Structures are given as structure tokens and as C-alpha cells.
Amino acid sequence: MSNPDERTASERFTGHGAEWKSAPLGAKDAQSATAWVEQIIDRRSMLTNKDRVADVRDAMWELEKDGEILVHRVTDEHRPVHVKTLYGWDKKIPTTRLWHHKSCGQCGNIPGYPTSLLWLMNQMQIEYLDETDQTSCTAWNYHGSGIGNVESLAAVFLRNFHQAYVAAKAQGLPDGYYYPLVHCGTSFGNYKEMRSFLMHSAKLRERVRKILGKLGRLVDGKILIPEEIVHYSEWLHVMREEVAKRRVIDCSGIRATIHPACHVYKMIPEDVIYDETVLDGNRVAVSTGIMQTLGTQVIDYSTWYDCCGFGFRHIISEREFTRSFAIDRKIRVAVEEAHADVMIGHDTGCITTLDKNQWISKADGRPVGLPVLADCQFAALVCGAHPYKIVQSHWHASATEGLMEKLGIDWRARKAEFEEYLKDVAAGRGETLYDPRRMITSGPGFKRVGHAG
């Protein structure tokens, strides 16, 4: 990193908000004051492993050459954008013909999360399929309870991704037409772990191949491995300029803090996007990149590296840990240190934990109230999505109304519109983002529907 004194304001290491001023430190003192940050919590600490980490995709191509597996490729038809990961490796992010692999926590608890994502895709005429033939990754339960094992996790991974590969058949389209886009951070980390274990263990491949054979989920007798495992936040990142073109609400006055999700960037760090144009490449690029491009002030805070406190089982049965951690290590720091208007995340468990666990802070007389949204929800909001019909902000326990007021959104009027709209829904006149007949691709309820294009 260059000498801080020699850098212009636009080159600063982090966003600090409009009123931020440099401390009157000389170059040497400034360096020693911040050196611990660079040495300890920057991505550089992970770079120490660089020489010892192999790219799992090399093993994948070898296995395909040996005829043991088949790779589901990201093709030109998926209009990929190439990005750089931690070690400077290339990753291909498909931008269209996407198969939505949903998140149970998002769909069950924060439905504005997937809805905003699909709405953004509609705005940009992105082709996608959202269907019923998919299960959860099962990894939340696994990490929380220990019920499950590497074989079950790997088999669920390959079953879901096989379905993504063949799903287009229902529309009379070829295999591999759609490419899976993973919504959940837990799934994203878990699937990447499973891909790595599968590539390195012939025994695991053999066991899982037998199971998938019973399910009819092999391709030419081989297990199907995705060339890239792609998280929705990566898609949003590479589409950020396109999204920003559609922004209709000025958000330059918004101070945003980012909570990066552990299973997104700590679990398989070598596969995570870092971008020199996003905070000098010193933070995970996703979420921060879209918020910067939309024009918000991204504010750094000292506990950005901490987890949210979700804990998988803790949010169910060790709630004192979860809420204490969420409030004291994340929300209160973002409010008091960064004076944040919003905390932005990109994972199911984090958004749930940080959003839901604020109300209880009243119990010790020090209440906190910080809106918590997913990056795609915020993006949809400032691109003109309805805050209740699309962003579904009513499911959020945190105070999103204050954020909307700061953005100039008359939330009372929008809420009244939504309450009126519920009458239409009750009468069977609800609106949908895509043709509902497409959501069943086989099995009970399936009816062939032509390709919607």
C-alpha cells in the first residue's frame, strides 16, 4: 500500500463519510498505527497460504479428461464476466440463463431477498428459471446439529446441481442451458467445500456416484460437477454498473456498513472476488462494490471481520450468545462508530440475525435500531422497486422506515398501497414476476410450457 500522506481523497483505504478528517500523524506514526490492521485482518493474512493452495478446478479438469466426471460449463451463452479472486485467479460469473437455487432462510423469513433479486433480473431482461425441484443444501442443519455427513452433503449438492443442468428439458431446451445461481451464503460455502472434497477423494466420489445412480442423477454414468459455484452477490457485483444505470433514487447521503458473510469469504477464501477498484482490493468486493457504484458512502468499522453471531444452532437454542454478539459486536459498533444508516449483508443467516436481534436491546436500556437489508434489496429499493410489494420490508424487524425516509420514500403511502393490494391478492389477482406454470419442471403438477425466452 502506498504512503497514506501521498494519496488523494479518492484513493483512501476505506470510505469514512463526508466529515472524515485525517489524524495529524506523520507517515511513520500513521503506518505504525494501522500496521496491525494490514498484518492481521487484511486479506494479506490469507495470502500467506497462497503457495500452498491448489486450484480445485485443475483437479476437476484432470478428472474430466480421465473420463471420471463431467463438468457443467459456463458457456458464452451464459454471457460470463471474468473476475479475479483472492490469489488473482480467474472466475467466470454467468450473467444470464440462470437457475435460481433458493435459500430456505431467505424464502421462509426474508422473502424480499429473492424477490428483489428476481425483480432486478426482470428489469435487465435476464433469463432465469425458478422451480420447485430443489432442496435446501441441508448445511444449516448440519452445522447446527451435526445430523448429516460429508456423503449426504455431497449427494444433496450434486442432486440439486444436476437438476439445474437438466431443468431446461421441461421447456424443450438442451441440457446445461441454465446455470445454477446459489442464493444462500451457507449453501455457497458448503457446496464449494463439497466440490473440493469430491475432487480430492475417489472414495467419496464412488460412494456418491452410487447414490446419484439410484436417483437417475448421473450424466453418461458420471457425476456432474459445476465449473464454477456462483453466489448471487457475485452476479450482482458484476452487474453493478447495469444496476446503477437504473437507479432512480439518490443515495449519496446514505452511510452504509457492510457485513461480509463468513461462509461466503472465509470458508473457501481462494474463490472469493477481490477487486482493486473496491477499497483497493482490501475487502471482499461483493456488496461493497454495488453499494459504492450505487453512490452510497461505504463506511468501515472496526468489527467488520466478526461473524454476525448466527452460530447455526445458537440462533435456535443459545440465543443469549446470538443476540449479545449481534448487538454488541456488530450493530452497536456500526451505529456508534460508523454512524451508519444501514447495514448491508449478502447472506441469509446474517441478515436474519442482525435484523431480528435488535428489539431485545431495549431490555438493558440501551436500544439500538439499524436497518438491515441484503445488497439486492437496497439496490432494488433505489432502482424504484416497491418497498412492500417487492422489497417486502414488512418482514424486517429492524427500523427500515427511517432509511426509507432518508431516501425520500413515503413509506406510509407505499404501505397503504400494499395493504390495499392485499385485497387483490385475496381475490386471486396477485401479481407475479414470472409465469407460474414454469415453476414445475417434472413430477406431480408438471405441464409442458414453451420457452419464454
Partner 1 sequence: MTGVTATTRVQEFIGDPLAGTTPVAREKLEEIFRDIQADLRFDHELNGCLNCGICTATCPSAHYYDYSPREIVQLLWTENLEGIYDAMQEKIWACAQCYTCAARCPFGNSPGGLVMLMRETAIKHGMESAKNVLRPFSRVMLKLISTGNQLSPDMISKDAFPDWGPNISKVDAPLALLRKAIPVPTLHTTKTAWEVNLKTSVELYTIWEETGVLESLKAVDPNLFDVIGDIMDEKRDEYAEWLEEQEEETT
Subset of residues 233 to 252 that bind partner 1, contact rule: CB under 8 A: none
Output the DSSP codes for 80-126.
Answer: -EEEEBTTS-EEEE--SSEEEE--HHHHHH-THHHHHHHHHHHHTT-
Residue number, 198 or 254, with CB nearest to partner 1: 198
Indicate whether 229 belongs to the interface with partner 1 (CB under 8 A).
no
Quick one: which of 96, 233, 292, 392 contacts partner 1 (CB under 8 A)?
392
Subset of residues 264 to 323 that bind partner 1, contact rule: CB under 8 A: 265-267, 269, 305-307, 309-314, 316-319, 321, 323
323 CB-side CA count, 13 A? 16
Indicate whether 15 belongs to the interface with partner 1 (CB under 8 A).
no
Quick one: which of 52, 65, 82, 447 contacts partner 1 (CB under 8 A)?
52
206: amino acid identity, one letter: E
Closest by alpha carbon to 92, among 282, 235, 196, 261? 235
Indicate whether 93 belongs to the interface with partner 1 (CB under 8 A).
no
Indicate whether 394 belongs to the interface with partner 1 (CB under 8 A).
yes
Apex 284 CA angle, 86 and 237, nearest 5: 105
Subset of residues 171 to 210 that bind partner 1, contact rule: CB under 8 A: 189, 197, 200-201, 203-204, 210
The CA–CA distances, whole Å, from 136 to 114, 156, 345, 443 equal 14, 8, 20, 18
Subset of residues 94 to 133 that bind partner 1, contact rule: CB under 8 A: 102-109, 111, 114-115, 118-119, 130-133
Subset of residues 143 to 172 that bind partner 1, contact rule: CB under 8 A: 143-152, 155-156, 159, 163
Burial zone of 412 (CB within 10 Å; 0-12 exposed, 13-18 middle, 19+ buried): exposed
Distance (Å, rounded) from C-alpha 218 to C-alpha 208?
Answer: 10
Subset of residues 406 to 435 that bind partner 1, contact rule: CB under 8 A: 415, 418-419, 421-422, 425-426, 430-434
Quick one: which of 73, 124, 359, 402 contacts partner 1 (CB under 8 A)?
359
Indicate whether 262 belongs to the interface with partner 1 (CB under 8 A).
yes
Site size with partner 1, rule: CB under 8 A: 110
Indicate whether 367 belongs to the interface with partner 1 (CB under 8 A).
no
- Which strand (E) or helix (H) includes residue 258? strand 255-259
